Amino acid sequence: MVLVRVGGPLWLGVIVTLWGVVATCFAGLSSAGGFYALRLLLGLAEAGTFPGLWYMLTQFYTTPEVTAYEGTHVYLKHDDVIPGLWYMLLQYCTAHEVQRRAATAQT
């Protein structure tokens, strides 16, 4: 595992920075192929981040403490469902309004 050889702070710093750079590159997309390539790179960066964070937690906490935190994290992770639904509704209404205005402008 690269994380063990390089060290946690350095590896996580590099991988999280790479994650941010790739996510920022999405702003300049102009093709579907570019989207798929960036999505693959983002997935690779993401795949190295969360296992590394959990590994680093195990270096500072005992197994019962980590499992208690993990259970709490999984339980609290679902608190974003309502805001997510609200955001999707807002996206739908915005897209519908844009289409309506475009159709009105063409006539």
Pull the structure tokens for residue 15.
């991988």
Neighbours of 57 (CB within 10 A): 13
Which comes out higher in pLDDT, residue 34 or 84?
A: 34
Q: Which residues contact 12 (CB under 8 A, 6 or more apart)?
A: 3, 49, 52, 53, 56
The per-residue pLDDT for range 45-104, each reduced to its tens digit, is: 888 887 887 788 778 877 777 776 666 555 555 566 667 777 788 888 888 888 888 888
Report which residue type is found at 3. Answer: L
CA-to-CA separations, 87 to 17, 81, 83, 95, in angstroms, rounded = 27, 10, 6, 12
Domain boundaries, given as residue ranges, for the chain: 1-60, 64-107
Which comes out higher in pLDDT, residue 64 or 32?
A: 32
The pTM of this model reads 0.55
Pull the structure tokens for residue 76.
């609290």
